[in-house]
């Protein structure tokens, strides 16, 4: 159970996810897994998998996808070949394990993946999504997991491919924070992983979102009050100007956080690259 999102921004691919798995007990651990094949070569390809749903079956699917991709020379990682390898691996796990689970457990046995990729033979940055045994292109944005209904509401109509990675990260912090606040199946910190043009893979970036989420919550309360005060016919202009001046001071305080510690940490972590595969899922 989770919420995960993938973005193709103007300067790279960003994947984000919470860290809470729910089963017999609630545990917190990564749901993002990155791999770079034939690093530092012209045909190198890079993949990041975001997992939602059943932990063991989802990780088995990722392991099979990675094994199939590793066995295929990167000089052959065309879009058609990569799609075929991913589809075969995901379909096999679904049919062998999810579909054969007892009927009472079948719903909780399901998993979904968001897959970001750098593929030199397929135009560079690509985003894929799974649904059951299907693997399809995801365009420039996709959200999945139990909290996806809320993530989509907050992100789909705002995100555009012209955004920068740091803008997409802020959008993800807001949306995942809301999902964790309102959906019992989502929780823990927010984690990020980034693929840059050329295939550079950032380290897994954990982010203690509590401070950021508190600032976002403050702004959302202030902006709602602004709407009501704009519409308040009983408030005279002098009162409104005084309130708006106080509103501006609060916005400047929040902006100071985001211009400083709020995004500096993420920007620094995004620039820490790996040179090979991340630990296996």
What's the pLDDT score for residue 216?
A: 82
d(CA 87, CA 68): 11
The answer for residues whose C-beta is within 8 angstroms of residue 205's C-beta and 6 or more apart is 191, 192, 193, 194, 266, 269, 270
What's the pLDDT score for residue 273?
A: 59
Q: What are the Cα distances from residue 29, in Å, to 69, 129, 136, 206?
A: 25, 21, 27, 10
d(CA 176, CA 187): 9
What's the pLDDT score for residue 279?
A: 45
Residue 220 pLDDT > 60: yes
Residue 27 pLDDT > 70: no
Q: 201 forms bridges with which residues in the sheet?
A: 195, 274
What's the pLDDT score for residue 219?
A: 87
Least confident of 140-144, 150-154, 191-195: 150-154
Q: What are the Cα distances from residue 271, in Å, to 7, 34, 268?
A: 17, 15, 5
Give the residue-averaged pLDDT of 91-97. Answer: 95
Most distant CA atoms of the chain, gap in Å: 72
Give me 186's structure tokens.
Answer: 């989502």
What are the structural domains of the chain?
Answer: 3-209+266-274 (3.60.20.10)
Mean pLDDT of the chain: 86
d(CA 233, CA 252): 27
CB atoms within 10 A of CB 258: 16
Residue whose structure tokens are 């910190």: 189
d(CA 52, CA 112): 5
Residue 210 pLDDT > 90: no
Q: How do residues 42-77 score in pLDDT, each as one tens digit?
A: 779 999 999 998 989 999 999 999 999 999 999 999
Give me 145's structure tokens.
Answer: 């997991």
């Amino acid at each position: 159970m989770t919420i995960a999102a993938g973005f193709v921004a103007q300067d790279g691919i960003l994947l984000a996810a919470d860290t809470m798995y729910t089963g017999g007990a609630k545990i917190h651990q990564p749901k993002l897994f990155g791999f770079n094949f034939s690093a530092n070569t012209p045909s190198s390809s890079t993949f990041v998998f975001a997992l939602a749903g059943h932990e063991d079956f989802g990780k088995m699917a990722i392991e099979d996808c990675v094994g199939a991709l590793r066995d295929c020379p990167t000089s052959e990682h065309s879009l058609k070949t990569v799609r075929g390898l991913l589809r075969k691996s995901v379909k096999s796990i679904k049919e062998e394990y999810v579909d054969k689970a007892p009927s009472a457990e079948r719903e909780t046995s399901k998993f979904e993946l968001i897959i970001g990729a750098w593929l030199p033979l397929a135009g560079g940055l690509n985003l894929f999504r799974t649904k059951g045994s299907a693997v399809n292109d995801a365009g420039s944005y996709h959200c999945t997991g139990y909290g996806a209904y809320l993530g989509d509401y907050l992100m789909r109509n705002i995100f555009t491919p012209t955004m920068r990675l740091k803008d997409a990260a802020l959008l993800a912090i807001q949306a995942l924070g809301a999902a964790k606040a309102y959906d019992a199946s989502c929780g823990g910190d927010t984690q990020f992983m980034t693929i840059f043009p050329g295939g550079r893979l950032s380290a897994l970036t954990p982010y203690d979102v509590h401070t950021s989420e508190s600032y976002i919550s403050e702004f959302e309360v202030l902006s709602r009050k602004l709407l009501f005060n704009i519409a308040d016919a009983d408030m005279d202009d002098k009162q409104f100007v005084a309130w708006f001046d106080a509103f501006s001071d609060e916005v400047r305080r929040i902006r100071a956080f985001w211009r400083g510690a709020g995004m500096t940490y993420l920007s620094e972590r995004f620039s820490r690259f790996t040179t090979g595969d991340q630990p296996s899922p």
